[in-house]
Amino acid sequence: MDLLLVEPSSILRVLCGLWFLPHCIGKMRNVGPASATFAKAGFHPPGAFVIITIIVELIAGTGLVFNILPQLAAGLAAAVLLGASYAVVRINGWNWRWQKQGPEFMVFWSATCVLTVL
């Protein structure tokens, strides 16, 4: 008898999608500061990038949570997270560790999103 009713990879896929919710809420509540961050990273026009990022994160998160076109959702998630990784490196320099505001969490999250749907 199988003790798990849900595959662990499905649980991880859902968690990867849910993690986008606080990211979107943070950007929506702080469009001005988010735009300043995007500008600092070299994304212009920064306000448009904030809105596009929110939309892509909502689509990717929804797709991952509800298993709707999960490969496409994971691809969108990976793209937005790797873009965020690029921005972090561009702003903070090449500091891998999170204690120095490095991109390792976003790189890990990106890989996890993709691996859960393979």
Mean pLDDT of 103-108: 92
Query: In this structure, is residue 59 part of a structural domain?
Result: yes
Domains in the chain: how many in total?
1
Query: In this structure, is residue 2 part of a structural domain?
Result: no
45: left (phi over 0), alpha (psi -120 to 50) or beta: beta
Query: In this structure, is residue 112 part of a structural domain?
Result: yes
Query: In this structure, is residue 65 part of a structural domain?
Result: yes
pLDDT tens for each residue of 31-88: 999 999 999 999 999 999 999 999 999 999 999 999 999 999 999 999 999 999 999 9
Predicted TM-score of the model (pTM): 0.90
- What is the DSSP-derived secondary structure letter of residue 116? T
**Tokens 């793209």 belong to which residue?**
79
